Amino acid sequence: MDKLKSFITALCFFLTTSICMAQSEIISHGISTFGDLKYEKDFKHLSYVNPDAPKGGEISFWAFGSFDSMHPYTRKGRAGAYSSIFFESLLEGTSDEIDSAYGLIAKEIEYPEDRSWVIFTLRSEVLFSDGSPLTAKDVLFSYKLLKEKGLPSFRAVLEKDIQSAELISDRKIKFIFNDDVPKRDLINTVGGLPIFSEKYFTYNKVDFEASTLTPALGSGPYILDKVDVGKQIIYKKNPNYWGNDLPINKGRYNFDKFRIEYFADYNSAFEGFKAGTYTFRNEASSKIWATGYDFPALEKNWVKKTTLPDGNLSSGQSFVLNLRREKFKDIKVRKAIGLMFNFEWSNSTLFYGLYERINSFWDNSDLKASGMPIEQELLILNKYKDILDGNNFSEEVFSFPKSSLKQLDRKNLRQASRLLDDAGWKVGDDGLRRNADGKTLDVEILNDSQAFDRIINPYIENLKKLGINAANIKIDNAQMTDRRRKFDFDMLVGFLSTQLTPGSELEQYFGSESADFSIFNLTGVKDQGVDAIIKEVRAAKSREELGFAIRALDRVLRNKVIWVPQWFKNKHTIAYFDMYEHPKNLPPYDIGVLDTWWMNSDKYNDLKDQGALK
């Protein structure tokens, strides 16, 4: 009897535990890194779209330089603009939430509370653009393809985070994550992988690592219409796009076509816009914005010039220092070089006061570090006191000081001179700085944009006043692509971008393991302390914890001086032929021109009748 009672007790415990375990598994239409999803399961459309937006028409943009490939996932060749648009993923984010993703190809997801695995259930109606069905086999094939032949830094992340992927059925696939990695963002990571057609790659014997002008088969709303190599790309809406009626797609992808026109330089691109060669321009030149918009099409009200708010993080645009170079190993040298870039003079003289200085890797947000570390930051930093530089504890977070409104700030020049003297770079009789071996301090800034000469040349002049043998090295964009990939540069203009909810991409941008091969880790930073704080960011279990960890990481990165930050503006400066319209309430994190704007056919016809359009 006692044995029977014990058996019943054990059975009840097993059943109760199993029920609890089952109850802890979540089945949902989406996932949020922190907190609740904004949109319920039965939502009708995203809040920032016009669900009744008219369909049709064309919009056109410009791109810089040239291209020789339509394959965006290989290091070979220079991929055409928007060439990833053919491919969709299991989940898709929105432009009004910073850490949520909803089912796109996936109808629902299932995962436990600890997010140690996930099962995606695919929609039955998903089709590739040739009409063939997209199944879980294609998802598995795509994951393996990216893991084996994707960009090296991306492969490293997949190998580190994902233990296995297995098919459950034609419509179900399961990913299991490794035990010793943070799992907060991993469902979003695998849910965001592009999905390719297994049949297309195997039947056509396509080499994923090769450059090609024939895009792989995808399931997205647009397909390729026309390519004129190096000059023009036209995409057109797939008339049989499987996802037209999904709530997440309502009011989106409204243009029948969009066109990309390539120009060799910024000035010729602007002339093309004035002439009506393309119809939408997101203006990045402060000089042109301030002085160039006085052409006939604007005076006749054919073109509309306006600003829209931009709630995104700053772009991280900077003069990137290549720490792989021996001359940049000493932080004193890096600080001295940075002191010679005069943002205040540039903004006043060259930029018409349009910009603000970037100081933080999380500028234009409340995630940037400031002043001395507060208690919650110190709790994180103190864990790694043995491997972090002392300035993270004893000094305010580093920012380059403000300069005078004269091109050469004498105070900064004196400070930079002392730094180089202390670093062993002494001024010789010829005015050039040399080290103990008699080697001059040579610094080249690679430049593939004629429009940037007016910014780089004054900086070069200031560096020369410091005794640095500096040069503005002009190359074409193909050479720039090649030299970036080979890390063959001293300095160049790059974008050290971050996210509001950062995750594994931090390891590709700033991690030691990626420094020797990641095309995103331009600086080549290798630092145990940085690696440790990245892990803290990835392991944060609440948005509050994440904020403290990000500020600690921002502090550590800025105190290493791996960049000379440039500028940003918290608004979009745009101009377009006045036939496009957008929803009244735009989302905070994306202007969404291709996503949510549309053409007003009456305005188009009016402009056409007036001869405004080619």
Summarised one tens digit per residue, pLDDT across range 547-596 is 999 999 999 999 999 999 999 999 999 999 999 999 998 999 999 999 99
- What contacts 177, CB < 8 A, 6 or more positions away? 115, 116, 117, 161, 162, 163, 183, 186
* Predicted confidence band of residue 11 (pLDDT cuts 50, 70, 90): very low
Gap between the Cα atoms of 278 and 574, Å rounded: 13
Gap between the Cα atoms of 313 and 588, Å rounded: 11
Identify which of 90, 313, 74, 72 has the alpha carbon closest to the alpha carbon of residue 186. 90
Identify which of 87, 71, 161 has the alpha carbon closest to the alpha carbon of residue 129. 87
Residue with tokens 């991409």: 505
Q: pLDDT (tens digit, 9 = 90+) per residue, 299-316?
A: 999 999 999 999 889 999
CA pseudo-torsion sign 225, 596, 248, 54: negative
- What contacts 332, CB < 8 A, 6 or more positions away? 419, 420, 422, 423
Gap between the Cα atoms of 413 and 495, Å rounded: 26
Percent helix, percent strand, percent coil in the chain, to nearest 5: 35, 20, 45
| pLDDT above 50 (res 335) | yes
Provide mean pLDDT across the span 195-203.
97
| pLDDT above 90 (res 521) | yes
Alpha helices, DSSP H only, in 373-500? Answer: 375-381, 391-394, 410-422, 453-465, 477-485
Q: Label residue 113 exposed, middle or buried (CB < 10 Å: 0-12, 13-18, 19+).
A: exposed
pLDDT of residue 17: 41
Which residue pairs from 471-475 have beta carbons closer than 8 angstroms and sit at least 24 positions apart in sequence? 471/442, 471/443, 471/444, 471/445, 472/445, 472/447, 473/444, 473/445, 473/446, 473/447, 474/447, 474/448, 474/450, 475/446, 475/447, 475/448
Gap between the Cα atoms of 186 and 517, Å rounded: 23
**Strand 106-111 and strand 117-122: pairing?**
antiparallel
Q: pLDDT (tens digit, 9 = 90+) per residue, 16-67?
A: 444 344 448 999 999 999 978 999 999 999 999 999 999 999 999 999 999 9
| pLDDT above 70 (res 9) | no
* Predicted confidence band of residue 4 (pLDDT cuts 50, 70, 90): very low
* Predicted confidence band of residue 413 (pLDDT cuts 50, 70, 90): very high
Q: pLDDT (tens digit, 9 = 90+) per residue, 134-173?
A: 999 999 999 999 999 988 878 888 898 999 999 999 999 9
| pLDDT above 50 (res 254) | yes
Mean pLDDT of the chain: 94
Residues of the chain with CATH 3.10.105.10: 317-568
pLDDT of residue 385: 96
Provide mean pLDDT across the span 368-372.
97
Q: Which CATH architecture has domain 222-312+570-609?
A: 3-Layer(aba) Sandwich (3.40)
Provide mean pLDDT across the span 380-409.
97
* Predicted confidence band of residue 430 (pLDDT cuts 50, 70, 90): very high
CB 195 within 8 A of CB 105: yes
pLDDT of residue 35: 78
Whole-prediction pTM value? 0.88
pLDDT of residue 503: 87
Gap between the Cα atoms of 111 and 116, Å rounded: 8
pLDDT of residue 227: 97
Specify the DSSP class assigned to residue 326.
Answer: G
Residue with tokens 């645009």: 317
The token duo for 202 is 């195997």
Q: pLDDT (tens digit, 9 = 90+) per residue, 433-478?
A: 999 999 999 999 999 998 899 999 999 999 999 999 999 999 998 8
Identify which of 205, 202, 224 has the alpha carbon closest to the alpha carbon of residue 214. 224
CATH topology for the 317-568 domain: Dipeptide-binding Protein; domain 3 (3.10.105)
Residues of the chain with CATH 3.40.190.10: 222-312+570-609
pLDDT of residue 75: 84
Backbone angles phi, psi at 558, to 5 degrees: -65, -35
Q: pLDDT (tens digit, 9 = 90+) per residue, 71-128?
A: 999 988 899 999 999 999 999 999 999 999 999 999 999 999 999 999 999 999 999 9
pLDDT of residue 381: 98
Q: pLDDT (tens digit, 9 = 90+) per residue, 272-298?
A: 999 999 999 999 999 999 999 999 999
Gap between the Cα atoms of 185 and 160, Å rounded: 14
pLDDT of residue 2: 47
Residues in the chain: 614
| pLDDT above 60 (res 519) | yes
Q: pLDDT (tens digit, 9 = 90+) per residue, 236-251?
A: 999 999 999 999 999 9
CB 607 within 8 A of CB 613: yes
Gap between the Cα atoms of 403 and 345, Å rounded: 7
pLDDT of residue 504: 86
| pLDDT above 50 (res 15) | no
CA pseudo-torsion sign 448, 451, 456, 458: positive
Provide mean pLDDT across the span 334-362.
97
